[in-house]
Structure 1
Amino acid sequence: MPQLNPNPWFFIMLTSWLTFSMIIQPKLLTFVSMNPPSNKMSTTTPDTTPWTWPWT
């Protein structure tokens, strides 16, 4: 069965993975995020009163 022969497909996978790791990934990592993450924690506590259901 030719699908089980790893000779050509392993080389293609290895080449594409090395291309991504060595060339594309460092170029993508050099971009600076325009919106850096901010502290989303608020100092106010939310109102935790129970909901009053109209049918109870």
Structure 2
Amino acid sequence: MPQLNPNPWLSILLTTWLVYIVIYQPKIVSLLQTNSISHNLKPLNINSWNWPWT
């Protein structure tokens, strides 16, 4: 059964993950912009509802 032989596909899998982690991930993370925290937060205005059956 050739499916049980891990030699060809295991090395390809490990190589692609290594390339992804070492090369592509830092490039992708450097392009992402994080949202800055706004210090001007307003308190939430919470109004209760008046239910007709209570």
Specify if TM > 0.5: yes
Aligned to 1:24: 24
Query: Which has more helix, going by share of residues?
Result: 2
**How far 1:37 sits from its partner (Å)?**
5.0
Aligned to 1:36: 35
> Any gaps of 5 or more consecutive residues in structure 2?
none
Taking only the aligned residue pairs, the percentage that are identical comes to 39
> Any gaps of 5 or more consecutive residues in structure 1?
none
Rate the CA distance shift 1:5–1:50 in 2: closer, same or farther, 3 A.
Answer: farther
Aligned equivalents of 1:50 and 1:17: distance in 2? 57
Moved over 2 A (4+): 50-53
Q: CA RMSD in A?
A: 2.4
TM-score between both structures, scaled by the size of structure 1: 0.65
